[in-house]
A = this chain, B = another copy of it.
């Protein structure tokens, strides 16, 4: 065996240990979100911190740096830059450098601050009192700026942060991609507001047996190609998807008795994440080539199954009869009325409840505020006013209190800064991917109508999932669609949708 191969295998073995520890950590998380009682939370936090500490120690072991140094000079032994080994070495280097650049003290401070800030956030929300949260928000942004300084960046400290979630993305590039959203979506929102026809969303509210919802949901996610033999579904307050092993991808969902489609659509969303994870290379599990490339690309998959499949006419042609069979209150509801309700577009206060059209502006507001805060162009004390002003400008909405405004999301409290943009990037990529698919294969609606969900799944598996982190998100978008990331496809899709449902255009 060559020296290069020996070094590579040693590195791979060390990284496998890291992957084992990381997935153990996710088992603790899965259990915490699906089964743990509040009384058990304190000990669980100790267990989680213990595993985090061990993982960090192993992942930053100096021997890893040495092996990377050795290997970077010997990539020819594997066939050069295009080889699997070269791709893994490149990405392992990325991860390693990032981890060793941030001092352990800072890692611990972010964790501790996260716990305290989250508690303050919960309290501040309950009290609708931003001043209780402000010092913690300030602390988290200061820690994020410090993190960015340690990580290093060329132009903007925000570059170092967004890169944690969307590798290779920068503030400038994200601004370029997201900037069209406001210009193009605001007029669409105005057009919708002035339309003559509007849906009756009450159709979706009432009493819908959770047991029946569960059966329908499991049927749907199985049909689209989520493999229950390599996964599982749990019940949880906040839906999420998590990978516990190469053949163990689970998601948590919830069955709200009062809402007809909430469980199904959010399960399609989580199953979309799960299908991505299940489509990663098993052979490469625990290495970058067996790991999803970015949050944006991840979100492109979940949104696609939720919105492009789960809100399509073709989908409901087959599912509405199942719904009306199981849920008496839906008897007599027409496909047109039901579909319009499922696709209602209407400005609202809360991001997580926003529709496909307005959602992107919720993200744009957060992105703009984050970048301003990181660059110290906005003061923490001015966050509520700035938030409310943007909500008015972009969505025409008045924010009654900060709990429904700038304090609605958990992200900043736990130090997730640079993260929000990936949600809108997901929508943008998703629209680009679907256009590419339709150019290459057939209209989505046609395949959905024929029940050929696996054709969709397998195309995405081939084009995206199986590559792991071989390409950067931007490279991947270019390879799959032939174009750089751009909001054009999303705007085209939304414009068409507004026209179809509301009969108006901007």
Contacts and interface: CB of A to CB of B under 8 A. Distances in A.
Contacts of A232: 35-37
Nearest to A234: B35
Given A30-B31, A31-B27, A51-B24, A40 B234 contact: no
A54 interface: yes
Interface in A225-267: 228-232, 234, 244-248, 250
Contacts of A31: 27, 30-31
A47 interface: yes
Contacts of A38: 229
B43 A23 contact: yes
A283 to B, nearest CB: 13
A20 interface: yes
Interface residues of A, number: 36
A12 to B, nearest CB: 14
Interface in A37-55: 37-40, 42-44, 46-47, 50-51, 54
Interface string A15-39: 0010011011001101100011111
A76 to B, nearest CB: 32
B43 A245 contact: yes
A47 B234 contact: no
How many monomers of this protein are in the complex?
Answer: 2
Contacts of A234: 35
Interface in A49-74: 50-51, 54
B37 A229 contact: yes
A230 B37 contact: yes
B27 A244 contact: no
Nearest to A38: B229
A244 B48 CA distance: 13
Contacts of A47: 20, 23-24, 27, 245
Contacts of A44: 245, 248
Given A27-B28, A28-B27, A31-B31, A20 B50 contact: yes
Given A31-B31, A37-B229, A37-B232, A24 B50 contact: yes
Given A30-B31, A31-B27, A31-B30, A50 B37 contact: no
Nearest to A54: B54
A246 to B, nearest CB: 6
A132 to B, nearest CB: 28
Nearest to A20: B50
Contacts of A230: 37, 39-40
A207 B397 CA distance: 57
Contacts of A40: 230, 244-245, 247-248
Contacts of A27: 27-28, 31, 47
B23 A24 contact: no
A43 B37 CA distance: 27
Interface in A182-233: 228-232
A228 to B, nearest CB: 8
Contacts of A54: 54
Contact of A247 (B39, B228, B247, B250): B39
Contact of A248 (B30, B39, B229, B231): B39
Nearest to A37: B229
Nearest to A285: B43
Nearest to A30: B31
Contacts of A21: 50
Contacts of A36: 232, 248
Nearest to A34: B35
A231 B36 CA distance: 8
Contacts of A51: 24
Contact of A39 (B35, B42, B229): B229
A63 B229 CA distance: 45
Nearest to A51: B24
A13 to B, nearest CB: 12
Contacts of A28: 24, 27
14 contacts: A17-B50, A20-B46, A20-B50, A21-B50, A27-B27, A27-B47, A30-B31, A35-B234, A37-B228, A37-B248, A39-B230, A39-B248, A43-B244, A43-B248
List 10 A-B pairs, minimum CB-CB distance, nearest first.
A43-B245, A40-B248, A39-B247, A20-B50, A39-B230, A40-B247, A40-B245, A24-B47, A20-B47, A39-B229
Given A24-B24, A37-B228, A43-B246, 4 more contacts: A20-B46, A24-B51, A37-B231, A43-B285
